[in-house]
Amino acid sequence: MADLETLFDSLRAAQARLALEDRRRKDAGLRGAMDAIDGARKGILAANSADVERARSGGMKEALVDRLLLNERRMDGIVEGIAAIAALDDPIGRVKAGWTLPNGLLVEQITVPLWVAAIIYESRPNVTADAFSLAYKAGCGILLRGSGAARESNRALVKAIKAGLDAAGGIPGAVELCPSESRDEVDVILKARGRLDVVLPRGGRELIRRVVEEARVPVIETGEGNCHIYVEPSADMDAAVEIILNAKLQKPGACNAVETLLVHRDAAAALLPSLARALAGRAELRCDGRARQAISAGVPPTALVLTDASESDWETEFLDYILAVKIVDSLDEAVDHINRYGTRHSEAILTNDLRAADSFCRRVDAACVYTNASTRFTDGGEFGFGAELGISTQKFHARGPMGLEALTTIKYRISGSGQTRP
């Protein structure tokens, strides 16, 4: 892995230069990369088509192929995301707090880059552009380790990014793509303490578990998305159906798609038959006994793919057109279920009872908690961050969608006039 060791050194050297760049020069580099990606979109889409064809021929399910797929609209999104990040304020050099001590020393808490980061991610070639853009704006070097599924897409994107940085007078060496997709490469990254400053995993359960358990480099942990929606009796049932459909069907391969629906027993008859009719032919429902009975009473069983839920279904991130459904007797039971099986990602309550909404939001352990809205909004772009590195489900430094702030830390700057400690 000599090539990877060389990349560690070159990234640190490039980051040292990038840390001295002001906002104007960093934004110029971002705009150069944006223009280069826009100009190279024909080649990038061709590379992506090769990746998609290889994935389908290898049996990848369509919901996951969708995460890999680029098209004109998604290319527009990549370009617009870089522009949005360039338009954000510089996160570096901010004075977050300041005070003067009795001895006259001025103490200031200022933001600084996290230095050199590595992100290990699966499919999703848009992450290549997002991670680069956020890291560059935050003054960080970034090592990109994508999966073999997006090999050609990532190579084409990074080639364009580097060309754009070079043309704009930026620092192309601040972004590097790992040269292979071997397991040994990941091992080297995870053990590169002192060479890399932080590692961010973005992908499925096994990837995240491996990184968290094996890394010697500090990790910002992202999580899989076993997300829930709980429906109270007071909810607007027509709106509830639309919200659930969006959360399940709009992009089922996303980590913020809903996987389990919890319905209060007094809302089941009003909600479940109409929801089941709307999902007929579009999603499989895996139900507990009471939910299955409520649906069967109002919908012909021949119109549905309806199966009995198993214990494992409650803890599964399906990433597919599958929805687990359970009837609960109370808000307490819903909260207990979510805190037992959830992944601390995104949870929602649909209700017009303000006390229920407040109780749910206070008690559910998750990075993002919604009232009367789809879980699909857990996204850096939707939150106004321009893009995201992933969704952090840990409880320190960064939580929820990670934008520029997640790639910064603090430094204390102390200014004196000759003080000595007695």
Sorted by sequence, the CB contacts under 8 Å of residue 391 that are 6+ apart come out as 222, 223, 225, 255, 256, 345, 346, 367, 368, 378, 400, 401, 402
pLDDT tens string 223-246: 789 999 999 999 999 999 999 999
Q: What are the per-10-residue average pLDDT scores of the chain (422 residues)?
A: 86 97 98 98 98 96 92 97 97 97 98 97 94 98 96 98 98 94 89 96 89 94 92 98 98 95 97 94 95 85 84 96 98 98 97 98 98 97 92 90 95 97 94
256-269, pLDDT tens digit by residue?
A: 999 999 999 999 99
What is the per-residue pLDDT for 2?
61
- What's the CA gap between 217 and 352, in Å, rounded? 46
Fold assignment, 2-222+402-415: Aldehyde Dehydrogenase; Chain A, domain 1 (3.40.605)
- Give the global pTM: 0.91
Listed by start position, the domains of the chain span 2-222+402-415, 227-377
For residue 302, the model assigns a pLDDT of 66
- Superfamily the domain 227-377 falls into: Aldehyde Dehydrogenase; Chain A, domain 2 (3.40.309.10)
227 and 345 Cβ atoms separated by less than 8 Å: yes
In contact, 38 and 163? CB cutoff 8 Å:
no
Grouping H, G, I as helix, E, B as strand and the rest as coil, residue 115 is coil
pLDDT digits (tens, 9 = 90+) for 164-221: 999 999 999 999 999 887 888 999 999 999 999 999 999 888 899 999 999 999 999 8
Amino acid at site 289: G
User: Which residues 6+ apart lie within 8 Å of 68 measured at CB?
Assistant: 48, 51, 52, 55, 60, 123, 124, 125, 149, 150, 153
CB atoms within 10 A of CB 348: 29
Neighbours of 102 (CB within 10 A): 5
Tokens of 312: 């494992």
22-46 residues labelled b (16+ CB within 10 A) or e (exposed): eeeebbbbbbbbbbbbbebbeebbe
